[in-house]
Chain A
Amino acid sequence: MYSEKVMDHFMNPRNVGEIENADGVGQVGNAKCGDIMKMSLKIENDIIIDAKFKTFGCGAAVATSSKATELIIGKSVEEALKISNKVVANALGGLPPVKMHCSNLAEEAIREAIEDYKRKKGEIVDNNDSTACGRRCEDIERLKNE
């Protein structure tokens, strides 16, 4: 069901953990839906120099978390914000259709962590809750109807 790349990232996840004194932390999803991802970032001069994750979720959720951290390390904050769920999924050689919604978690977690970073820097002041889980629920409904 999963590609070799997905299984590799699931069995040997990269960058698991939490960064102490992180510059930005984002947690998205909820336990009710069955997946939560927490991403912490170390950022210097607007460049992400380290990223770590913790995920409660299925194989696809863990693998996309792992891949996402790989993709953003070394990127600028603005470049990292352009990494969509599709980019993460493609970098893993694709995900089964019913699992595509899991990849939103990674995209949303990156965005949340960067927003937290900007908030700490005083660049933004809003404090909206994450919509990641809701969005994924909609994805599932859409897939069912396709």
Chain B
Amino acid sequence: MDKKCIYMDHAATTYVKPEVLEAMLPYYTEKFGNPSSIYFIGRESKKAIEAARDKVALAIGAKSREIFFTGSGTEADNWAIKGIAYANEDKGKHIITTSIEHHAVLHTCQYLESEGFEVTYLPVDENGLVSPEQVRDAIKPQTILVSIMFANNEIGTIEPIAEIGKITKEKGVYFHTDAVQAIGNVPINVEEMNIDLLSLSAHKFYGPKGIGALYIRRGVKLTSFVHGGAQERGRRASTENIAGIVGLGEAIQIAANNIDKNNKKLIELRDRTIQEVYKSIPFVKLNGHPEKRLPGNVNFSFEFIEGESLLLMLDAKGIAASSGSACTSGSLDPSHVLLAIGLPHEIAHGSLRLTFGDKNTNEDVDLLLNELPGIVKTLRDMSPLFVKEKEGIKNVQ
């Protein structure tokens, strides 16, 4: 590498851990057999898939036969929501979700609206929390599904999933959660939390891209999404991505076994960053819940500046981060999540998301804290929104 890259965008994707890659590699070369074949190398692939399935099941407290591999987290979300909708429309055509879901859920729900389904998009409070009572109140006799993310990808807020699960169980409505950001960061038990369907994706926890899984509680009625062969017990056709599945299994096992240790470190980096930024930069706001948030997530809004400019300047210093500004999406609107927590447009445009991972160190945070105040000041000096009188004013934490 030409220059040191300080990667602080682990919610976007992660590298593949060496031990994960090592477990995957033989399945590209000598162990390439089709798991549907009867001969030895086919059986070997089949065994590898089932071993990975056991690992996924163990990590979320499910049974192995309730785990179905998919091509991505997005596919798992699409399958869960459309599959429930089409299999249960005779019971009703109402779905409940939130206004801060990932587009994989939001756009799927919008598509179903065009197909005649009714969708309620629940609001969230200023910290991004969904209220379980609002979920209860929104359930109607026609409601067939509640889909609420486990933790938000932008602001890191962790939703009250167990409380919502209690309500959906009591009301007899299916409960899906997009846990793509939560796996490996938050302990999950689908039994205890009364989750009926759960989406996950390997590349968010040091596994490969292009592989995800959907947990489907036994007995849940949903249609197939990819039609074809008899793979995944006839529910998700196409020849298995064996290496990907093996990688997913390895990665989730490592993530689940090290959750406490990893979180301790990530929370230290996160909280130190939040405290120091508050001390060194005025006109800053932390987005997301102060405590109920993903261990590696920091999301700030800096007033008077725009997020893409901030990212470009951080990039010039070797720091990779992300923003919810419109300019990073090619539209005029900033992130729907930041608007949903009540930020005015101009403040939402100035957001910065830092998501720490297992290679980040205190030295990385030192470098960030060293560069960030100067970058924010440079951009504010250039901004017509920032007037002289505001200089010298400090934050009150």
Write the residues of chain A forming the contact surface with B, with a CB cutoff of 8 angstroms.
2, 7, 10-11, 13, 16, 27, 31-38, 54-62, 98-99, 102, 136-137, 140
CA distance A23 to B334 in the complex (A): 35
List the 6 closest pairs (A to B, CB-CB), nearest first.
A31-B346, A58-B327, A58-B308, A38-B384, A54-B384, A98-B330
Among residues of B, the one whose C-beta sits closest to the C-beta of A18 is B384
Contact assessment for A10 and B384 in the assembled complex, using a CB-CB cutoff below 8 Å? no
B362 at the interface (CB under 8 A from A): no
Contact assessment for A62 and B309 in the assembled complex, using a CB-CB cutoff below 8 Å? yes
Contact assessment for A59 and B309 in the assembled complex, using a CB-CB cutoff below 8 Å? yes
Contact assessment for A137 and B306 in the assembled complex, using a CB-CB cutoff below 8 Å? no
CA distance A34 to B382 in the complex (A): 14
Set of chain A residues within 8 Å of B382, measured between Cβ atoms: 13, 16, 54-56, 62
CA distance A137 to B330 in the complex (A): 11
Could you write out 17 A-B pairs with CB less than 8 Å apart?
Answer: A10-B312, A11-B313, A11-B316, A32-B345, A33-B332, A33-B345, A34-B326, A34-B346, A34-B349, A35-B327, A36-B385, A54-B382, A54-B383, A56-B385, A58-B306, A58-B325, A61-B327
Among residues of B, the one whose C-beta sits closest to the C-beta of A101 is B332
Set of chain B residues within 8 Å of A27, measured between Cβ atoms: 384
Question: 14 additional contacts, CB 8 Å, given A11-B313, A35-B306, A55-B384?
Answer: A2-B312, A10-B309, A10-B312, A16-B381, A31-B345, A31-B385, A55-B382, A56-B383, A57-B306, A57-B327, A58-B306, A59-B309, A59-B312, A140-B331
B174 at the interface (CB under 8 A from A): no
A interface footprint on B280-324 (CB within 8 Å = 1, 0 otherwise): 000000000000000000000000111011001100100000000
A interface footprint on B90-126 (CB within 8 Å = 1, 0 otherwise): 0000000000000000000000000000000000000
CA distance A27 to B346 in the complex (A): 16
Write the residues of chain B forming the contact surface with A, with a CB cutoff of 8 angstroms.
304-306, 308-309, 312-313, 316, 325-327, 330-332, 334, 345-346, 349, 381-385
CA distance A16 to B379 in the complex (A): 11
CA distance A110 to B385 in the complex (A): 19
Set of chain B residues within 8 Å of A62, measured between Cβ atoms: 309, 382
Set of chain A residues within 8 Å of B349, measured between Cβ atoms: 31, 34
Set of chain B residues within 8 Å of A31, measured between Cβ atoms: 345-346, 349, 385
Contact assessment for B306 and A34 in the assembled complex, using a CB-CB cutoff below 8 Å? yes
Contact assessment for B384 and A34 in the assembled complex, using a CB-CB cutoff below 8 Å? no
CA distance A25 to B346 in the complex (A): 22
Contact assessment for A59 and B332 in the assembled complex, using a CB-CB cutoff below 8 Å? no
CA distance A45 to B349 in the complex (A): 40
Contact assessment for B384 and A37 in the assembled complex, using a CB-CB cutoff below 8 Å? yes
Q: How far is the CB of A78 from chain B (nearest CB, A)?
A: 26
Q: How far is the CB of B350 from chain A (nearest CB, A)?
A: 9
Contact assessment for B327 and A34 in the assembled complex, using a CB-CB cutoff below 8 Å? yes
**Set B304, B313, B316, B334: member contacting A34, Cβ < 8 A:** B334
User: Which of B309, B313, B331, B384 has the most chain A CB within a 10 Å cutoff?
Assistant: B384
Among residues of B, the one whose C-beta sits closest to the C-beta of A65 is B382
Q: How far is the CB of A85 from chain B (nearest CB, A)?
A: 17
User: Which of B304, B316, B331, B332 has the most chain A CB within a 10 Å cutoff?
Assistant: B332
CA distance A136 to B332 in the complex (A): 9
CA distance A2 to B325 in the complex (A): 17
Q: How far is the CB of A104 from chain B (nearest CB, A)?
A: 13
CA distance A62 to B304 in the complex (A): 14
CA distance A34 to B308 in the complex (A): 10
Set of chain B residues within 8 Å of A98, measured between Cβ atoms: 330
CA distance A34 to B331 in the complex (A): 10
Set of chain B residues within 8 Å of A54, measured between Cβ atoms: 382-384
Set of chain A residues within 8 Å of B313, measured between Cβ atoms: 11
CA distance A102 to B332 in the complex (A): 11
CA distance A61 to B383 in the complex (A): 11
CA distance A60 to B325 in the complex (A): 14
Set of chain A residues within 8 Å of B332, measured between Cβ atoms: 32-34, 136-137, 140
CA distance A56 to B349 in the complex (A): 10
Set of chain B residues within 8 Å of A34, measured between Cβ atoms: 306, 325-327, 332, 334, 345-346, 349
CA distance A10 to B382 in the complex (A): 11
Set of chain B residues within 8 Å of A13, measured between Cβ atoms: 382
Q: How far is the CB of B325 from chain A (nearest CB, A)?
A: 6
Q: How far is the CB of B383 from chain A (nearest CB, A)?
A: 4
Known A-B contacts A32-B345, A33-B332, A34-B327; the reply to A58 vs B384 at CB < 8 A is no
Q: How far is the CB of B378 from chain A (nearest CB, A)?
A: 9
Contact assessment for A32 and B346 in the assembled complex, using a CB-CB cutoff below 8 Å? yes
Set of chain A residues within 8 Å of B306, measured between Cβ atoms: 34-35, 56-58, 61
Q: How far is the CB of B344 from chain A (nearest CB, A)?
A: 8
Set of chain A residues within 8 Å of B316, measured between Cβ atoms: 11
CA distance A34 to B325 in the complex (A): 8
CA distance A10 to B346 in the complex (A): 20
